[in-house]
Structure 1
Amino acid sequence: MTSPVPKVNENLNNQNDLKMPSPRIPPPTPNSEIQHNSTTTTAMQTHSRQSNSSRSNSLESSTAHLRPHTGGDVRWEAVNSVSAKGPIGLSNFRLLKRLGYGDIGSVYLVELRGTNAYFAMKIMDKASLASRNKLLRAQTEREILGLLDHPFLPTLYSYFDTDKFYCLVMEFCSGGNLHSLRQKQPNKHFTEEAARFYASEVLLALEYLHMLGIVYRDLKPENVLVRDEGHIMLSDFDLSLRCSVSPTLVKSSSTHNQTGNGGVGGILDNEYALHGCMQPSTFFPRILPSKKNRKSKSDFGLFVGGAMPELMAEPTNVRSMSFVGTHEYLAPEIIRGEGHGSAVDWWTFGIFLYELLHGTTPFKGQGNRATLYNVIGQPLRFPDSPQVSFVARDLIRGLLVKEPHKRIACKRGATEIKQHPFFEGVNWALVRSAMPPHIPEPVDFTHFAKKDTSAAVAENSHNHHHSDHHNVGGDHSQNSTTPPDYVEFEYF
């Protein structure tokens, strides 16, 4: 069984840090990722002074109406019914089971008291975050979760803090993660059909994040959770980078193929190119000029054969000097310390697809140091077995180009990947209606009924801080004991 792969921490100061000579990393430029911890600390302190005991920032009832894909969600109804009686806090929840742990917190299966509604709660220790200079990461994750409204991304139902902890209340995924699910497959790898299904949903999630100006930076099977109905949910945003993005319309490659331009997308004439930073859910109604100035379709010169212009919302100008990620998934530009942007997500997408199909990652070495040197110096190779199709290999080759500016999708983003022959036959508008390759067994919550544990309890995890195997909604065979009192709890 593949052992958990630790993250590389940008501070390089804990058990999972890189044990090799660090690359020369120049000081951050004004456009690089901002790491003002004093500002973050002040923000966190201000956030913590909202009340004396349990400060609640539960999402208001109106928030549910801003998230159309969660319409009719009984969990929103439960949260709204409880929050109508007063601020939601830790005492409103029964902690049932520890699901997983990571670099900045632990995740628990919880029940909202009096509702029969179950959630995953991420609990982060304030003192530990402050001592390890990771308050900014916790703040960034909360802010990103509050922005998301997508069927393959988490919904943040509530967040609050106590004197000791920050708490995020999210959806519980009963199917575990793709790492655990892959281990259960014959020969520990997915069929190409199953890999295409999971990759297509992850691709749509990454596309949405990039439209919001979010570079994910931590794609791996451990962070792809499986919902009750078999569709995926991308999780864990504490390594993500926020930046500005300017959505732009480009001519479709199909149109260019007809005009002899080799399928290379071109930017619309300035009169019709639309730039700006806006929410994806409200973008499309504003694509065309206003009605009074609108020209006929034929005037655009784009609709040959009925082809529509494409949306390009790739944050191509972002540059970060942070040294973060998971060793086997790190892009070459991160290891070389050259500064990186959104193209790192397409590198990790290639590693992700390779692992789904082959059961291992392509550059894995005997240790972390060897793995990183392989990423930099070794060519991409495919094993003789299992056999995968030519189009699958071709897509992976295009994604795992070591020079980020030559990597597929580095300019046009997910639009370019969707058009690759590997995804031929995928109806992108109806991906949610496709039949998943695996439907998890329903979770029987009745065996938790006799465990009347206090809401302020947690399992002692001082022996787990050496690993960073995130497993939110993960393997239910682990960590099934009732947690002791939270006062003795160590998160890291």
Structure 2
Amino acid sequence: MSKPHRGGEDLRWEAIERVEATYGRRLGIGDLSLLKKLGFGDIGSVYLAELRGGGAGAGEGCLFAVKVMEKEMLVRRNKVRRAQTERDILGLLNHPFLPTLYSHFETPKFCCLLMEFCSGGDLHLLRQRQPGKRFSEHEARFYVSEVLLALEYLHMMGVIYRDLKPENILVREDGHIMLSDFDLSMRCYVDPTLVASMDINPSSFCIRPSSCLRPSCLKPTIKSRKKITSSAYGPDALPVLVAEPTTARSTSFVGTHEYLAPEIISGAGHGSAVDWWTLGIFMYELLYGKTPFKGGGGNRETLFNVVGKPLRFPEDGGVSFPAKDLMRGLLAKDPKRRLGFKRGATEIKQHRFFEGVNWALVRSGPPPRIPAAVEPAVVKEAIRACLAASVEKGGEDLGLGRCSDDRFLDFEFF
């Protein structure tokens, strides 16, 4: 049952196996204590839950996130296929920056997905807590790198994500990210291919080299041209894996208005390049504290801006040229001219903005911040204190989703 990328250190699998062995059946909703409503989406709500009866030393009191979807609602709103697609995609995933699906089960009224709980909240609220409501370039590079690797893996698995935004990027207890919420994702065919390194142009690190004020921007690394030719790009270099589902097409109008790619808005049909557009919007929001095309007059103006307004950067943003250059490449309105259209993450990772990033060891890199540890006993105590306080105030039913006590847990983070 365990996933290899967890390194055998995830006690949640052992706890689930012990519960199932004890009762001689698969895990069910009755084996969980729902502690708090964490949030809700278009097809379901997510709850913080504690596993009952895990047994001492086997992860007793393990915390999970449970997505609960009402069957009647799914049928009434024609969302059954979306729910099934999300479950199927979650079952495929085995990556350090993507969620683990521990189990799924049904009741007469509900469908439930049991996933890992991230104690650090999401990047949207984390960004709002930063000075100026934005991340430094070093911090943004960390989060963009991990999201890029997650999208690369999804594309290799034939999954186009289509809903990238800070609200869907959670922070694990170790400070690394987890991409969540796959109900808008699309499955498609992909043909992974090994491409000779010499076919990749090492000078294509700048999208607009003529506008670069520093000649060093034109160099892929600080090494000499001779060393680059004889090692990373020489005839003896290892081939590069490219797995980009470029032939996938959909005309569905899905996503969040500020993150929608132009080809989705026009209805011309879209493919995997929409994920690289959203990566550019995501990076812009982390660095500037806002998205580039949001209109003051509402969603309609935002959509017009996405299609017709040129990309501009605030003059006082303090963002480097390589960062701006990468965003220009990702936010090309013509998907065929967008960075990543042909070779996906393989060409994006070569951009100078990522200079110094060791892609093989990103998972081991130190995160910008590590959230405080969350213990089940502390969570339950915080909720009991909240409910007791509501009774003292005249019996007002605040609801679990509104309980908050900063002494125990930053509940507003969810």
Please report the TM-score for the alignment, with normalisation by the length of structure 1: 0.70
1:392 alignment partner in structure 2: 323
The amino acid of 2:411's aligned partner reads H
Considering only aligned residues, what root-mean-square deviation do their CA atoms show, in Å?
2.4
Q: Does 1:73 align with 2:18?
A: no
How many angstroms does 1:307 deviate by?
2.1
Q: Which amino acid aligns with 1:180?
A: L
Q: What is the aligned partner in structure 2 of residue 429 from structure 1?
A: 360
5+ residue gaps, structure 1, are 1-62, 265-301, 464-473, 480-492
Equivalent runs, 1:328-347 vs 2, <5 Å? 328-347=258-277
What whole-Å deviation, never above 9, does each CA across 1:108-145 have from its counterpart, x for those lacking one? 11000022111000001111111111111100000000
Between the aligned partners of 1:183 and 1:255, the Cα distance in structure 2 is 39
Out of 314, 327, 336, the position equivalent to 2:257 is 327
CA separation of 1:263/1:357 partners in 2, compared to 1, >3 Å: closer, same or farther?
A: closer
* Offset at residue 72 of structure 1 (A): 2.2
Q: Deviations over 1:357-410 (max 9, x none)?
A: 000000000200010000001000001122100000000000000000110010
Counterpart in the other structure of 1:476: 411
- Of 166, 182, 187, which residue of structure 2 is paired with 1:242? 187
Question: Given residue 199 of structure 1, which amino acid in structure 2 is its aligned partner?
Answer: V
**Contact 2:50–2:376 (8 Å) recurs in 1:** no
TM (normalized to structure 2)? 0.83
* Cα distance in 2, alignment partners of residues 460 and 72 from structure 1: 31
Summarize deviations over 1:297-316 as a string: whole Å, max 9, x none. Answer: xxxxx972642111110000
* 8 Å Cα contact 2:257/2:299 also seen in 1: yes
Aligned residue runs from structure 1 range 391-470, under 5 A = 391-449=322-380
Identity of aligned residues (%): 63
Shift of 1:225: 0.3
| Paired residue secondary structure (2:412) | coil
SS at match of 1:356: helix
Cα offsets for 1:16-44 (capped at 9, x unmatched): xxxxxxxxxxxxxxxxxxxxxxxxxxxxx
- In the alignment, the residues of structure 1 paired with residue 7 and residue 78 of structure 2 have an alpha-carbon distance, to the nearest angstrom, of 35
Q: Does 2:167 align with 1:228?
A: no
Distance 1:427 1:322 in 2: 36
Select the residue among 94, 97, 114 that pairs with 1:169: 114
1:156-188, Cα deviation, whole Å (9 max, x unpaired): 001001011100000000000000100000000
Does residue 350 (structure 1) correspond to residue 280 (structure 2)? The answer is yes
CA distance in 2, matches of 1:446, 1:407: 49
Structure 2 match to 1:381:
312
SS of 1:304's partner is coil
**Structure 1 residue 67, shift from structure 2 partner:** 3.4
Change in 2 beyond 3 A, CA 1:400/1:93? same
State the SS of the aligned residue for 1:71: coil
Please name the residue that 2:36 is paired with. 97
- Residue 189 of structure 1 aligns to which amino acid in structure 2? R
**Aligned-residue offset at 1:323:** 0.5
Q: Letter of the aligned partner of 2:18 in structure 1?
A: S
Bigger fraction of residues in helix? 2
Q: Where does residue 124 of structure 1 map in the other structure?
A: 69
Q: Which amino acid aligns with 2:168?
A: N
Pick 1 or 2: higher relative contact order, CA cutoff 8 A, min separation 6. Answer: 1
The answer to whether the 8 Å contact 1:217/1:239 transfers is yes
Give the match for residue 46 of structure 2: 107
Distance 2:371 2:6 in 1: 21
The Cα offsets for residues 55-84 of structure 1, whole Å up to 9 and x where unpaired, read as: xxxxxxxx22x5343522101111111122
CA offset digits 1:168-222 (Å, max 9, x no partner): 0000000000001000000000000000000000000000000000000000000
User: For the Cα contact (< 8 Å) 2:121–2:170, is it kept in 1?
Assistant: yes
Q: 1:398 to 1:303 in 2, by over 3 A?
A: closer
Seen in structure 2, the aligned counterparts of structure 1 residues 449 and 219 have a Cα distance that, compared at 3 Å, is: closer
1 CA distance for matches of 2:380 and 2:270?
49
SS where residue 411 of structure 2 aligns? coil
Give the Cα separation in 2 of the matches to 1:101 and 1:221.
15
Rounded to whole Å, the distance in 1 between the matches of 2:341 and 2:198 is: 15
Do the aligned partners of 1:121 and 1:169 also contact (CA within 8 Å) in 2? Answer: yes
